[in-house]
Structure 1
Amino acid sequence: MACRLVDSSFLLKGPQQKRIHGHRFVSLYPTGTSLLKWEALPQHKPKTQKYVIPLRKGKIVKSVASPITPPLPAADSAERRQELCENYGFRQIGESLPDNITLKNIIDTLPKSVFEIDNMKAWKSVLISTTSYALGLFMIAKSPWYLLPLAWAWTGTAVTGFFVIGHDCAHKSFSKNKLLEDIVGTLAFLPLIYPYEPWRFKHDRHHAKTNMLNEDTAWHPVMKKHFDESPFFKKAIVFGYGPIRPIMSISHWLIWHFNLSKFRSNEIGRVKISLACVFAFMAIGWPLIVYKVGIVGWIKFWLMPWLGYHFWMSTFTMVHHTAPHIPFKSSEEWNPAQAQLSGTVHCDYPKWIEILCHDINVHIPHHVSSKIPSYNLRMAHKALQENWGKYMNEASWNWRLMKTILTVCHVYNEERNYISFEEVAPEISEPIRFLRRVMPDYA
């Protein structure tokens, strides 16, 4: 421990020092106190006393102790990566992918069978989602009030499976019949009030420009210039990227999917068809629900499962693409292989969630090639592990992982990737400090 004296019980007037035994130096840091004796210091026999003006004997001397932190290991060393795993809640943080590796190099190592569409497996996923959703509605109808949260959790997770089916349809990996894919995708999205075509167009850009600053249509870091636009906006964004981030896909859904100005002219026709389907479902389906079970029933049977879906939509997206060590790059620096393989996170969830959500969290192979059907993602992931495993980021869902995302991954910084709101705007960051205090920290 290195100490710097800020107060003293004696004053030195010359090069000589009076020998004082047993003076106590108290550290202001929580590292303890140090008892310093002059025998441990270089000794000089005084020739005279006139240079020393003693103020008081036996006074406690305060000091500031500045702990000397050992240098961190190299950024790409195994020791450093293990340290980051522990800090962030990851199981593995991958090495940096060499610049000369292309996305085609990676895709070429996948077995051809992972790209094969199997109609039986595709319709099996529809059966799983349909039956699990029906079971969820039955549970909501029969559960006493104190069991409703469990019924909502199940039903919200089950309806997320419909999203994954529509997701496969949008990527043309559900069926060889492309018209059938569009019909199934549109129907699968209706209970979620998601317009299929607008989502498909937006999502294709996410895959084309994953982790590219300002271009990726999924969540990316807050840009400082946007953060400073207005006091109201700053407070709203602190909440949006902090306490309410696990349902912020609702905002994303509203902003991106219903505004015709966000789409190209050749996309507008299909977008309007999808919007008409969604509005028709709302105009017919919602009144029927209210007619049968009332407003409270609409909340119980539709709204609460819908919020459960958005919890998973937000959480999955955050975990897939957000971590302090995963950079977002400008278009000039962006590397597709690095973004898709090393910039995407594989995360394991409880088995029932994986089944109901059709393995959407086996996400790295999906970004390596979106043409892989959801039922082949595990086979593709195994092949990637065998050939590129040391470059991949993997985790099992845990509280430390979520706490890291919610309290650290906020404002973009070119050198550090992310800076927390606590550093950028401490005066309005109480929501982030609150999360630090109350969220569990175990992995």
Structure 2
Amino acid sequence: FSASPLLNDVVGFVVHSLLGVPYFSWKYTHARHHGGTNSMERDEVFVPVTAQNAPLLDKPWGYSLPVRLTYFVITFTAGWPLYLALNVASREHKGHWLVNHFTPWAPIFNKREAFYVALSDLGLVAVGAVVWKAAQAAGWAAVAKYYIVPVMVVNFWLVMITFLQHTHPSVPHYSGEDWTWLKGALSTVDRSFGYTLDRIFHRIVDTHVAHHLFSYIPFYHAEEATNAIKPLLGEHYLVDHRPIFQALWQDWGKCRYVDSEEATGKGVLWWKVDPICTKRD
């Protein structure tokens, strides 16, 4: 939001720490997400499972409504902490078992970044100490009501928004040499939460394509940038006008794993639509 990197980092560090997020750690992996969007080997978040390793794919009840609901609840309540702590829904790091956003020597960081990862951890420790003191003074019920539950609500919106930005039956993923940065950047989806929520969320939902093409544009210029690129991109500009919760439920059920038409499982990978969900929705 500012031309000053220092100001951006100071504000980001404080706000993210208050929300239980290691700021610099996530800043680094998010930058790599932008550098490898929708690449099966490079992306850092929402990397889909393939037909070869999709859980429950061979079970007749694997995509039943109870299973679908269970995955839904886990993802949108605990998905964000699980991603930070266990690198869930990210790419595979073969030969490494300790992959998370809290370990300075984790393979998702380089040596130059290690100090700032540790600094992010200290920010979380400081916030944790304040929360502990507040619980001793006011009780855990009050802390849950005024801090823990609101943070969980923030986490829900975060996972929901990012899921919808990168998940749609018509959005491909790429493996190997079939991926390019531009293909990945254009494999994102603009959606709208309505006039009010779009502005509350600083236009991150309905201007996400522009954000991936020009990630240094501040949010208050994102609408202008989006309007400028639409006629240039033409059919390559992806936007979904479905009601947001309808889109969430439908795409959650339909986009369960990706597969390639090539025997190697490489190349361009498309979401495989579950016929049960298609019929039901």
Residue 403 of structure 1 contacts residue 436 of structure 1 at CA under 8 Å; is this kept in 2? no
What are the residue-to-residue correspondences of 1:7-406 with 2, within 5 Å?
174-227=1-54, 241-247=71-77, 248-255=79-86, 256-260=100-104, 261-262=106-107, 263-283=109-129, 285-341=130-186, 343-361=187-205, 362-396=207-241, 397-406=243-252
- Relative to 1, partners in 2 of residues 1:242 and 1:290: Cα closer, same or farther, differing over 3 Å? closer
CA–CA separation in structure 2 for the residues paired with 1:310 and 1:401: 19
TM-score (norm 2): 0.79
My pick for the range that moved more, 379-388 or 249-258, is 249-258
Unaligned segments of structure 1, at least 5 residues: 1-173, 424-431
- Relative to 1, partners in 2 of residues 1:292 and 1:205: Cα closer, same or farther, differing over 3 Å? same
Residue 102 of structure 2 contacts residue 118 of structure 2 at CA under 8 Å; is this kept in 1? no
CA–CA separation in structure 2 for the residues paired with 1:186 and 1:347: 28
Aligned-pair RMSD on alpha carbons?
2.7
**Matched residue SS, 1:417:** strand
CA–CA separation in structure 1 for the residues paired with 2:249 and 2:190: 17
CA–CA separation in structure 2 for the residues paired with 1:364 and 1:403: 22
Residue 245 of structure 1 contacts residue 406 of structure 1 at CA under 8 Å; is this kept in 2? no
Residue 241 of structure 1 contacts residue 406 of structure 1 at CA under 8 Å; is this kept in 2? no
My pick for the range that moved more, 310-319 or 214-223, is 214-223
What are the residue-to-residue correspondences of 1:420-439 with 2, within 5 Å?
none
Structure 1 residue identity aligned to 2:74: I
Deviations 1:4-60 (A, max 9, x none): xxxxxxxxxxxxxxxxxxxxxxxxxxxxxxxxxxxxxxxxxxxxxxxxxxxxxxxxx
Structure 1 residue identity aligned to 2:193: Y
State which of 247, 272, 279 in structure 2 corresponds to 1:419.
Answer: 272
Residue 211 of structure 1 contacts residue 327 of structure 1 at CA under 8 Å; is this kept in 2? yes
Question: How many Å apart are 1:336 and its aligned residue?
Answer: 2.1
Deviations 1:206-239 (A, max 9, x none): 000000013211102113444469x9xx99x977
CA–CA separation in structure 2 for the residues paired with 1:193 and 1:377: 27
My pick for the range that moved more, 380-389 or 203-212, is 380-389
Question: How many Å apart are 1:330 and its aligned residue?
Answer: 0.7
- Relative to 1, partners in 2 of residues 1:275 and 1:324: Cα closer, same or farther, differing over 3 Å? same
Residue 243 of structure 1 contacts residue 406 of structure 1 at CA under 8 Å; is this kept in 2? no
**Matched residue SS, 1:190:** helix
Deviations 1:92-128 (A, max 9, x none): xxxxxxxxxxxxxxxxxxxxxxxxxxxxxxxxxxxxx
Question: How many Å apart are 1:436 and its aligned residue?
Answer: 8.1
Unaligned segments of structure 2, at least 5 residues: 87-99, 262-268
**Matched residue SS, 1:244:** helix
Structure 1 residue identity aligned to 2:227: K
CA–CA separation in structure 2 for the residues paired with 1:380 and 1:292: 48
Residue 2 of structure 2 contacts residue 218 of structure 2 at CA under 8 Å; is this kept in 1? no
Deviations 1:299-351 (A, max 9, x none): 1111111111111111111111111111100131012222212x110111123
CA–CA separation in structure 1 for the residues paired with 2:142 and 2:126: 20
- Relative to 1, partners in 2 of residues 1:214 and 1:241: Cα closer, same or farther, differing over 3 Å? farther
Structure 2 residue identity aligned to 1:275: D
Residue 17 of structure 2 contacts residue 120 of structure 2 at CA under 8 Å; is this kept in 1? no
**Matched residue SS, 2:139:** helix
Question: How many Å apart are 1:180 and its aligned residue?
Answer: 2.1
**Matched residue SS, 2:177:** coil
Structure 2 residue identity aligned to 1:251: L
My pick for the range that moved more, 325-334 or 249-258, is 249-258
- Relative to 1, partners in 2 of residues 1:219 and 1:373: Cα closer, same or farther, differing over 3 Å? same
Structure 2 residue identity aligned to 1:280: A
Question: How many Å apart are 1:292 and its aligned residue?
Answer: 4.1
My pick for the range that moved more, 368-377 or 252-261, is 252-261
- Relative to 1, partners in 2 of residues 1:213 and 1:240: Cα closer, same or farther, differing over 3 Å? farther
**Matched residue SS, 1:332:** helix
Aligned to 2:91: none
Q: Which runs of 4+ in 1 moved over 6 A?
A: 237-240
